[in-house]
Structure 1
């Protein structure tokens, strides 16, 4: 196989699912002998991770989406590196990357990742790509409905590091969070962003608390909505049952103490946190949005419900919590199904997209 030279662009300063996928992709392609360069925001978490792993990157500041200086600097990097592939990973990367490629002397093939299932606002960004990677069939359906030709779209599922979840123990967390070991634990792992709809999760938690007193709820993740959500939990009278953990590095250990994982999102591309839960053997009750239905099989490893229905989330969660045989069956099935969503498969699938373009 030809050795590829790839520039990846992601200007996000935060560390979310997309940045984790990019990091694993670059790390994996590097091990396969391909040459990778990442263009990213200065002093962001992505650049810190890349630096720690001795992976190549350029820091380019972007003040706004049409920032001409960022376009100029990115164009210079393209002409210097002369990549085979220019892969645009984030929403903010698209305009800068496309404009830089348009004005550069060297003309790489353009690949764009689409990780969300809402409709495209700027269609030209995607129509100018040579290939669009959708992270689920759900995302592909939205792209098709927005007028993107089928032959321009490849589905490559996001992956997780399955090895992170083997032989993990979460016993220490009962003491840290002040949870009785006999308590039922229901949780969500997600950034505190509007589309994750944590208020629906909290409304479901309030219903579960009435039906199954003593249940504890973990909200794992951080974001600007935290103070608002803490107040909302108080207004529902469940503050004593809900623990906001903030951002955590020990998610595999935290998932070990979950009895049920609830996803309350009204928009999703795929949701790698659901894959994490499945890998940990945690039954999932999730909203049927985006590609989530490709992960959660109704009555096999969990349940799907429509978005914005806290009473249905609560009903299905209680069904699992009350039936130990069901919970164990879903747990075993979740582990089996999660093997289809490894980071290795994501790396191989992306590599295939690149090679098929050249």
Structure 2
């Protein structure tokens, strides 16, 4: 079996991390793979040395389709532009393709987008919210739900201890990810503003970078309980150092960073938005709050900060439910999907 993965994203965020996770897992199973990505993509660096793997640079979905000698059995499209690359492969070579849809916003109204999703052998949606969004626009799309995996970012006691010593005496509440408005950092800032006097022991850490950083820094100006620590290569250590993880997104396909926090045994407070309720059952393995509401976020943070037993309960239940989101489990589900599609296509 030869799988061609296509990810033409310009940056490197959650979807690209999931692409790397899957390719590595499939390589361990002896699957021959090609990756089509933009020149200079970090994806190539992350996958350097992966066995049975070939990289191919491509600037546009109209290009990079190669020669007949490069035939693969199936194309897996991991981002929006890659969807059209897969559609062209279907027309030119009669090659089946599958799509992973990672966002819960409505599909584009253009005829090309509808055709691409209708022609796909399967559309793997990260959550039920995404599946509903796809089916609303393309009712005859063949959809299934396959979630993201956690990445298993490592941590070391020494490094975690050093981070905690840097904020000695503080209760660390952190948010990790791209600094974008829809991720709800501004909601966290307002919650922090309401807690700055009543709970001076709480220190909020924003771990990441992004295009809305200047706007968010302006919103947080004068708040001593907020610190922007930037992108951190050893994000596992920073997650493990937290006492509480917050994820108040206004919209979210799934929220794989929640899984990373759970894996490091950090209790999670997240918004009831998009696919997040697929991961969190309120009061069982985390706390859900209303999106865009800093008051309910503040109350949830206060509750966990003062209640160590509840934090332990939530993290214990969260760990118990992680098996279904391991890189191994998710890779097996995709491998089964590939085999099923190829069987159908060969009939």
Q: Structure 1 length as normaliser, TM-score?
A: 0.89
SS in 2 for 1:191: coil
Task: Tell me whether 1:192 sits opposite 2:179 in the alignment.
Answer: yes
C-alpha distance in 1 between matches for 2:55 and 2:217: 38
Contact 2:200 2:225 in 1 (8 A): no
Kept in 2: contact 1:268–1:292 (CA 8 A)? yes
Conservation of the 8 A alpha-carbon contact between 1:305 and 1:313: yes
Distance in 2 between the 1:189 and 1:88 partners? 26
Secondary structure, counterpart of 1:43 in structure 2: coil
The CA distance in 1 between the partners of 2:232 and 2:114, in whole Å, is 36
Q: Deviations over 1:112-166 (max 9, x none)?
A: 110011111132321121110001122112222223337x111111101347368
Unaligned runs of 5+ in 1: 63-69
2:81 equivalent to 1:92: yes
Which residue of structure 1 aligns with residue 345 of structure 2?
A: none
Q: C-alpha distance in 2, partners of 1:264/1:186?
A: 13
For residues 183 and 350 of structure 1, do their structure 2 counterparts lie closer, same or farther at Cα, with a shift above 3 Å needed?
same
Say yes or no: does 1:149 pair with 2:137: no
Q: CA deviation at 1:327?
A: 1.3
Choose from 163, 179, 183 the match for 2:167: 179
Q: Do residues 128 (structure 1) and 126 (structure 2) align?
A: no
Query: Residues 146 and 340 from structure 1, CA distance in 2 versus in 1: closer, same or farther, beyond 3 angstroms?
Result: same
Root-mean-square deviation over aligned CA pairs: 1.9
Measured in 1, the distance between the counterparts of 2:277 and 2:163 equals 30
Aligned to 1:65: none
The answer to whether the 8 A contact 1:285-1:302 is kept is: yes
Residue aligned with 2:205, SS: strand
Aligned to 1:224: 211
Q: Are 1:266 and 2:250 an aligned pair?
A: yes
Equivalent in 59, 63, 69 of residue 61 of structure 1: 59
CA apart distance, 1:318: 0.7
Confirm or deny that 1:322 pairs with 2:306.
Answer: yes
In the alignment, is the contact (CA less than 8 A) between 2:90 and 2:96 conserved in 1? Answer: no
Deviation of residue 276 (structure 1)? 0.6
The residue correspondences of 1:327-338 to structure 2 (distance < 5 A) are 327-338=311-322
* 2:127–2:275 Cα contact (<8 Å) kept: yes
Shift of 1:187: 0.8
Match for residue 66 of structure 1?
none
Partner Cα separation in structure 2 for residue 7 and residue 113 of structure 1 = 13
